[in-house]
Amino acid sequence: MELFSFKRLLVIGAAALAIGCSSSATPSPDTNVSDGVPVAMPTSVVAPAPSGLAGGTLKVVADSQIPHRDVHQEVQETLTALGPGLAYSRLLRLRSGQGAKQPNLLLECDLCQSWELNEDLAFVFKLRPGIKWQNIAPVNGRFLNAEDVVFSLDRLKTPGWPNAALLSSIGNAGAIDALTLKVELNLEDADALLALADGHAKIVAREVVAMYGDLKDAPVVGTGPWVWQKTGPGENMVFVRNDNYFEEGLPFLDQLDVTVMRTAPLADPPGTVESDKVGAFRAGLVDVLSVGPVEWDMVRQGEPDFQSVVSRRSGSGVVLAMNSQKPNLKEAAVRQAVFQAIDPWDYLDTVWSGQGFASVGIPVREADWLLQRSEMRQNFFADPGKARQLLIDSGQRLPVKLEVAVRIERTGGENVALEERLLTDLTSVGFKPELRRMNPVQFDDLVMGPARDFQLAVGALPPTSTTNSYLFGLLHSQGQWNLAGHDDVQLDSMIEAQAAEFDDAERRVKLVEIQRRVLDQAYLFSPVTAASRWVFSNDLKGFEPNTALSEYNFWSRTWLDR
């Protein structure tokens, strides 16, 4: 087994960021650690099925057509989590059920029955017995075995494929017997296990690949709750219940219809497609719709005969970062004054209609691993008087010039509204902000490119889905996207220490301290960490989505009361 190394840990963040939805996880709460070395402990996490009513058809909206059907050779979310990908299972999945708090990267078994981490840093998985592939040629309903999982993991790692980096921390996999396999780790990565729960880590059938060469135009044959019905190019997708699914009683629905409403071309007026989606929901043509703040306002303008739920997810959203290499931002006090000048929770309520949450942006295992709002607001934000005093004490001549680069998206005016609030608040405490509006390409070149020629930037976070991918990509001094441009040895050491911490309680403590350090030095934070607001018909029950890591299991656990 290869030993832990800092250089290899940097690969975790870079590889994960390269695909935008990455490899990570923490061991279960039942993992014991002695002197920092994980000790074998069986983990049985098979979530019980909820109670619900059987039958009915649910109509859902997808925002893009699928490019093909090979779930290993594409990262597109529609294919992965709302298209043919629904037919497949994974070794593990994320918990999304009743009462689960979010953000949530809690693991549970999908195809497995239990797992344990042994002294050699290898995970041994026991598969559920009696799992059958869907009764479609050429697989024809045979039983799943450990070799299927090994084949799929090896295929996913094909060099050059867009999902290969997902398993960067995963080593060799091998079948011990028909229902047992061992998965080695390449290094002591406390996030590695989440790679096997990522929505892209599908378990596919060997026979289909052997017959067709790839899965792009092949039959969709999985072990999941949904059987994909073949449709022609450009048509919507239909799924029917898998009567031989291994979780008894699931899915509740007889059918899932996915209507594709593509994003409008750039030349179209902003909001065109969004209005069509909302109109379809109001007319009863669709039952479930994921909406942004603008669409949410549209929905609320009609009759309030619907339900809504917000699914919180770390690792995406909007970031506010300051380049500590710029002369007027080298002093921590000046950066701290920027934070103290603003109230991100007020921005959330007035600009984003409460859709999202303020944080450092780090994906975490459970919501209580995040620094609490009360501490963040009291110590680091929302004190204009303190902001002005920090500027005065810094010795800089007021007003302090500050260039603000804002990424403007094609649809929605949230960033424009944010810039207005931000400039007003900065001006009031002694800054002289100069605005630079930029399209996404310009912004990414300026902020994410090698030059990093910006002072303060507000725009979309690089997509990450795990703790280590975020910390090593955005906050480590050697990270691919060290947005703050810092050379903070203390922060680097803290990031490296938590990366191989397999004890959940200890890792939580370390991550809270990292968040405090980042805010105290005022490097960056996320004024609106992503959340998906879903609106749905009143007769839809048990709908509790968790969309982190491209999760999709929640569709099988919801039902209609009609």
Q: Are residues 480 and 547 in the same domain?
A: no
Alpha helices in 177-244 (DSSP H): 206-212
Strand 307-322 and strand 456-460: pairing? antiparallel
Q: Are residues 338 and 247 in the same domain?
A: no
Q: Are residues 482 and 547 in the same domain?
A: no
Task: Establish if 302 belongs to a structural domain.
Answer: no
**Whole-number pLDDT of residue 296:** 83
Using the Cα atoms of residue 150, residue 75, residue 416 and residue 429 in order, give the sign of their dihedral: positive
Task: Establish if 272 belongs to a structural domain.
Answer: no
Q: Are residues 167 and 243 in the same domain?
A: yes
CA–CA dist 428, 366 (Å, integer):
37
Q: Are residues 352 and 245 in the same domain?
A: no
Q: Are residues 182 and 256 in the same domain?
A: yes
**Whole-number pLDDT of residue 417:** 80
Angle at 422 between CA 417 and CA 427, to 5 degrees: 135
Task: Establish if 286 belongs to a structural domain.
Answer: no
Residue among 278, 287, 289 nearest 253 (CA)? 287
> What CA–CA distances, in Å, run from 66 to 73, 170, 259, 276?
12, 28, 12, 20
**Whole-number pLDDT of residue 270:** 47
Per-residue DSSP letter, 158:
-
Range of the domain at 334: 312-531
How many separate domains does the chain show? 2
Residue among 342, 443, 320, 334 nearest 389 (CA)? 334
CATH code, domain with 127:
3.40.190.10
Q: Are residues 244 and 326 in the same domain?
A: no
Q: Are residues 189 and 333 in the same domain?
A: no
* Residue 98: Cβ within 10 Å count: 10
Q: Are residues 60 and 191 in the same domain?
A: yes
Alpha helices in 329-383 (DSSP H): 332-341, 344-351, 373-380
Please count the residues of the chain.
562
pLDDT along the chain (562 residues), means of 10: 40 39 36 42 63 94 91 95 97 78 89 91 95 98 98 97 91 97 91 94 98 96 95 78 96 95 51 72 91 83 82 84 95 97 92 85 91 96 97 93 87 71 96 94 89 91 85 94 94 95 94 98 92 90 92 95 88
Task: Establish if 166 belongs to a structural domain.
Answer: yes
**Whole-number pLDDT of residue 301:** 82
Helix (H, G, I), strand (E, B) or coil at 203: coil
**Whole-number pLDDT of residue 320:** 95
13 is written with which tokens? 């963040």
Q: Are residues 507 and 542 in the same domain?
A: no
Using the Cα atoms of residue 469, residue 475, residue 476 and residue 478 in order, give the sign of their dihedral: positive
Task: Establish if 203 belongs to a structural domain.
Answer: yes
Bridge partners (DSSP) listed for residue 541: 559
Task: Establish if 555 belongs to a structural domain.
Answer: yes
CATH code, domain with 331:
3.10.105.10
Q: Are residues 544 and 510 in the same domain?
A: no
Task: Establish if 486 belongs to a structural domain.
Answer: yes
| 449-473 tens-digit pLDDT | 888 899 999 998 887 788 999 999 9
CA–CA dist 22, 167 (Å, integer):
8
Q: What is the CA radius of gyration of the chain?
A: 24
Task: Establish if 160 belongs to a structural domain.
Answer: yes
Q: Are residues 253 and 197 in the same domain?
A: yes
